[in-house]
């Protein structure tokens, strides 16, 4: 609760003070000119403590003061739940440095005060006092569960959600966004497509008015790394093994190399940017497992490169066609020069022509940055409307 003096000061300097739930305003002063600088503290709970949310925790430990000065907010971790580590809640805040240093062992949170070896997703969502939920659990491409339910529990309570999880977004984005609007919360998912490269927000904001009519992109870093490795002389199986060794591919690489991951991303982009209402079953999908070393060699001779391309296009009748498939791109294509685990996308626009964006498509800190970019967006929206 803000003191009367704090409310009066906020009003006097023209700043909003009625922020949702229990986030607080902390007034700092820049001594050189006595300028009042308002810092909002958001209580955040993390669902999943694998690479992404653990990286976000490290960023909170290292960058909170910088964010206060740069963006006007800080993050206080009040709860975490993870299938492997267990769970922990402290409404007064947990030490981010201590959390980032928890050993990667089963039930690791039980080594901390009030920690448990058992996950407690619902308890963390409903009772940690969080203003924000960072959802980074595993992706279920069939029904989006249990992540979709986690998002609903939070949004029903007016708690905003940022997620990197493709399942809830590809399968249930419209209902989750509607639920968020009904409770005054926000549902953001920038990291669900190209990790730290903010293509959704860039397309909606920076390319607003350009009349995007379609897109094609390299939307999976693992498959692109495999194809690049094959160009260096490895066969498909050895290239996949190399990707696994370097951490680009999971133990079961099927979702990456067969295009299933890209199909979900195509659905998200088509629905968000082209106004489609696609489901994964609407997207024709073929992966790269059929590409041979002979195919790679012949492409090189033809001055071309194989790429796994996810694409969608708005037709003249308003319908949307979408697909995922290996495509042989000439070297003059902007996407042909993209190698390794890098992602890229070309937006076809009626006003500007093709616009290509290249950036990180994988990585712990890169994806954690996407969560941060969503939190920055939420904070700006709250500041703008004075909630």
What is the helix (H) or strand (E) element at residue 86, kind and residue range?
A: strand 86-89
Rounded to whole angstroms, the Cα distance separating 272 from 197 reads 16
Strands 187-188 and 132-135, sheet pairing: unpaired
Q: How far is CA 84 from the centre of its chain?
A: 21
Cross-sheet strand order for the sheet of 304-314: 284-285, 320-330, 304-314, 212-218, 342-349, 353-360
Let me know if 265 is a catalytic residue. Answer: yes
Asked whether residue 135 is marked as a ligand-binding residue, the answer is no
Task: Write the DSSP string, 234-289.
Answer: --HHHHHHHHHHTTSS-SS-HHHHTSHHHHHHHHHHHHHHS-----GGGSEE--ST
List, in order, residues 6 or more apart from 254 with CB less than 8 Å away. 260
Q: Which residue in 265, 307, 314, 382 is the catalytic one?
A: 265
Q: What is the spatial distance between Cα 306 and Cα 220, in angstroms, rounded to a whole number? A: 14
Tell me whether residue 250 is annotated as binding.
Answer: yes
Known binding residues for NADPH: 166
Active-site residues, by number, are 265
């Amino acid at each position: 609760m803000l003191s009367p003096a704090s409310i009066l000061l906020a009003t006097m300097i023209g700043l909003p003070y009625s922020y949702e739930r229990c986030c607080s305003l902390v007034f700092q002063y820049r001594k050189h000119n006595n300028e009042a600088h308002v810092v909002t503290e958001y209580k955040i709970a993390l669902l999943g403590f694998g690479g992404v949310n653990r990286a976000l925790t490290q960023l909170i430990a290292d960058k909170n003061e910088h964010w206060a000065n740069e963006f006007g907010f800080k993050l206080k971790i009040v709860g975490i739940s993870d299938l492997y580590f267990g769970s922990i809640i402290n409404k007064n805040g947990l030490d981010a440095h201590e959390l980032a240093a928890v050993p990667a062992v089963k039930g690791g949170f039980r080594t901390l005060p009030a920690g448990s070896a058992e996950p407690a997703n619902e308890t963390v969502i409903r009772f940690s006092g969080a203003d924000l939920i960072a959802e980074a659990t595993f992706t279920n491409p069939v029904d989006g569960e249990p992540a979709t339910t986690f998002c609903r529990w939070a949004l029903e309570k007016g708690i905003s959600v940022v997620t990197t999880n493709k399942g809830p977004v590809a399968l249930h984005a419209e209902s989750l966004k509607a639920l968020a609007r009904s409770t005054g919360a926000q549902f953001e998912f920038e990291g669900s497509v190209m990790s730290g490269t903010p293509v959704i927000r860039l397309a909606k904001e920076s390319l607003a008015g350009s009349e995007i009519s379609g897109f094609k992109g390299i939307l999976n870093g693992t498959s692109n790394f495999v194809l690049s490795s094959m160009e260096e002389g490895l066969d498909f199986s050895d290239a996949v093994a190399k990707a696994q060794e370097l951490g680009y591919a999971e133990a079961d690489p099927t979702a990456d190399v067969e295009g299933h991951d890209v199909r979900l991303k195509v659905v998200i982009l088509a629905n968000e940017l082209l106004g489609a209402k696609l489901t994964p079953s609407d997207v024709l999908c073929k992966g790269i497992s059929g590409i041979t070393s002979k195919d790679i060699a012949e492409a090189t001779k033809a001055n071309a490169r194989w790429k796994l391309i996810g694409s969608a296009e708005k037709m003249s009748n308003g319908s949307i066609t979408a697909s995922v498939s290996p495509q042989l791109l000439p070297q003059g294509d902007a996407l042909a020069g993209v190698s390794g685990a890098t992602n890229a996308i070309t937006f076809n626009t009626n006003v500007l022509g093709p616009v290509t964006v290249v950036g990180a498509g994988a990585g712990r800190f890169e994806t954690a940055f996407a969560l941060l970019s969503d939190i920055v967006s939420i904070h700006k929206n709250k500041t703008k409307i004075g909630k």
